[in-house]
Structure 1
Amino acid sequence: MTATVSNFHYGAVTPVASYLMACLGAALGLRCTTRSLRRPHRRAGWLALGAVSIGCGIWTMHFIAMIGFSVQDALVTYDPVKTLLSLAVAIAVVAIGVFLVGYRGGSPVNLGVAGTVTGLGVAAMHYLGMAAIQTNGGLHYDALTVALSVVIAVAAATAALWAAVSIHKLWASLGASLVMGVAVTGMHYTGMAAVSVHLTGQSAVSQSPTSLMSFLLAMLAGPLTVLLIAGAIVMFDPDMMLGDEDWDRPAYTPRDTGAGSPAHQPSQSSRPYNS
């Protein structure tokens, strides 16, 4: 018997909250990548923090959205090992993409490779998280809808990586994070549209919906704490308000003493690398 599946058991609460988490992770990741490009001596640390922020943002988006997932006449639980493994996958694949563009620049070829790897990894995180679901039935997927969700994941990852190395103004990066939130959340709900559940019998699961939510909230506590810490680090960093015009500003401006003065000499860009 095919069960009725809903992704909006609590109405608009879960999709809105999941979208905000995706935006938060993207915004922190973009700002961390900007810091890494300006501070090459600390590049690895900022890129790592950016990868963790984006990865945790995507993962928390997924499982906040899954709080609203329900199957009629069946209880749903999650395998904790697969759930945590999906978090590790999310962070690892985002780190690959972020470090590629952070150290090798934003050339079309490099962006294509990094975006594809990261997008496929994000899709793998999503479907690994789905594989953690335990219920009295089997999950089945529509192949074309799954393929569409993977395409969206790759496109979203590529756009996010391009924004990370190309957009440095604060308000522009915040706007980009809102767009990234739409793309990542859209990928999730596209993937969920591919799901159907075929029940095999009466539910033998004794867990209540309340305890299921408690489990998911406990899983979310760690990544949410990481995002709060990353947000505090970014907010208190002195370069938070830097924009593109600040990147090429000379460290000092000598007095104008004539055509031969240093003020008339070409200034060197302060960008730490050439993309």
Structure 2
Amino acid sequence: MEGTVDGFRYGAVTPVAAYVMACLGGALGLRCIVRSLLNAESWKPGWLALGAASIGCGIWTMHFIAMIGFQVEETRIRYDTGLTLLSLAVAIVVVGVGVFIVGYRGAGTANLAFAGIVTGLGVAAMHYLGMYAMRLNGAIDYDVFTVALSVLIAIVAATAALWAAVTVRGFLTSLGASLVMGVAVSGMHYTAMAAVSVHVHGTTGGSWAGASASSLLLPMLVGPVIFLVLAGVVVMFDPLLVLGDADWSRATARRKPAVPPAEEALAPAHSSPFETPVGPSRARQHPYDTPQRAAEW
């Protein structure tokens, strides 16, 4: 028997909340990656890792917030805890691979294409691994064409996100890029969900292994959300992340104290390493400072 699938159980609440989390993760991740590029003295691996974790947590949180609104009317839905956590690890790791490639090797065509494909396939793998973690009294079928379309959207979204990460500098432009990322990631998710159909085995209501959506997903979402909030605090208290390259340079120039011209003068060069540099006051006291005094001496 074909089950009645509904992806919007709570109306617009779950799609909007999922989109907001995708945008938040994208915005924080972009700013952290930009931070590693603006200052050569910063700890680059740390900033890139924080950016990858922010984007990965944002994508994973978006997916499972959206899944809270997914139901099959004829059967309950439960989730395998181990596979659900594994999907979070996959999201962070694959985004990290793409971020470190473009962070260290640049956004050349070959690097960007390779990193985008790897990251996009990883994001799609995270989604379908999360779907595989579902436990219900039935079998889930997928439309092959729609699945392929969702994977293509994931690759394009990942490539665009990585390009923005190494190209966009200003705060407002990063914010705009994160909004576009949110649309792309949410579009990938709901395209993939459009490929789903469920064949229910029966309406016996028997139990099966796994935790319900409310008992598993809501508590598990707390951790990534707290992480994103903490990452947001790091961004807010770093002026270089908030201002951007040009504004930070101007602010630094305004705060830099003026150096008196006398202190900027360089000591005269000497032809021999054994010559002793003589300052202006010392030169006036030397008996040979003028030809006339040298003759008198």
- Please tell me the TM-score bracket, short chain as reference: 0.7 to 0.9
Q: What residue is the counterpart of 2:14 in the other structure?
A: 14
User: Is the aligned partner of 1:146 residue 2:143?
Assistant: no
Opposite residue 39 of structure 2, the aligned amino acid is: R
With the length of structure 2 as denominator, give the TM-score of the two structures: 0.81
Cα deviation per residue 1:56-86 (whole Å; 9 max; x = unaligned)? 0000000000000000110000000000000
SS in 1 for 2:238: coil
Identity of aligned residues (%): 63
Q: Which runs of 5+ in 2 are unaligned?
A: 262-297
Against the structure 1 CA distance between its residues 247 and 98, is the aligned structure 2 distance closer, same or farther, given a 3 Å change threshold?
farther
User: Is the aligned partner of 1:204 residue 2:212?
Assistant: no
Opposite residue 61 of structure 2, the aligned amino acid is: T
| Preserved contact between residue 152 and residue 187 of structure 1 (Cα < 8 Å) | yes
The answer to which of 39-48 and 180-189 deviates more is 39-48
| Preserved contact between residue 86 and residue 129 of structure 1 (Cα < 8 Å) | yes
Q: CA deviation at 1:205?
A: 2.7
Q: Which runs of structure 1 show a deviation greater than 6 angstroms over 4 or more consecutive aligned residues? A: 247-251
| Preserved contact between residue 34 and residue 241 of structure 2 (Cα < 8 Å) | no
SS in 1 for 2:241: coil
Q: What residue is the counterpart of 1:66 in the other structure?
A: 67
CA distance in 1, matches of 2:110, 2:82: 36
Q: CA deviation at 1:243?
A: 3.0
Q: What residue is the counterpart of 1:121 in the other structure?
A: 122
Bigger radius of gyration among the two: 2
Q: CA deviation at 1:242?
A: 2.8
Aligned positions, number: 255
Q: Which runs of 5+ in 1 are unaligned?
A: 258-275
Matches for 1:235-274 after TM superposition, within 5 Å: 235-246=236-247
Q: What residue is the counterpart of 1:193 in the other structure?
A: 194
Q: What residue is the counterpart of 1:24 in the other structure?
A: 24
Matches for 1:215-254 after TM superposition, within 5 Å: 215-246=216-247
Against the structure 1 CA distance between its residues 74 and 160, is the aligned structure 2 distance closer, same or farther, given a 3 Å change threshold?
same
User: Is the aligned partner of 1:42 residue 2:18?
Assistant: no
Q: CA deviation at 1:214?
A: 2.9
CA distance in 2, matches of 1:206, 1:103: 47
Q: What residue is the counterpart of 1:100 in the other structure?
A: 101
Against the structure 1 CA distance between its residues 153 and 34, is the aligned structure 2 distance closer, same or farther, given a 3 Å change threshold?
same
SS in 2 for 1:190: helix
Q: What residue is the counterpart of 1:56 in the other structure?
A: 57
Opposite residue 32 of structure 1, the aligned amino acid is: C
CA distance in 1, matches of 2:142, 2:208: 26
The answer to which of 34-43 and 49-58 deviates more is 34-43
Q: What residue is the counterpart of 1:88 in the other structure?
A: 89
| Preserved contact between residue 168 and residue 242 of structure 1 (Cα < 8 Å) | no
Cα deviation per residue 1:81-115 (whole Å; 9 max; x = unaligned)? 00000000000000000000111111111110000
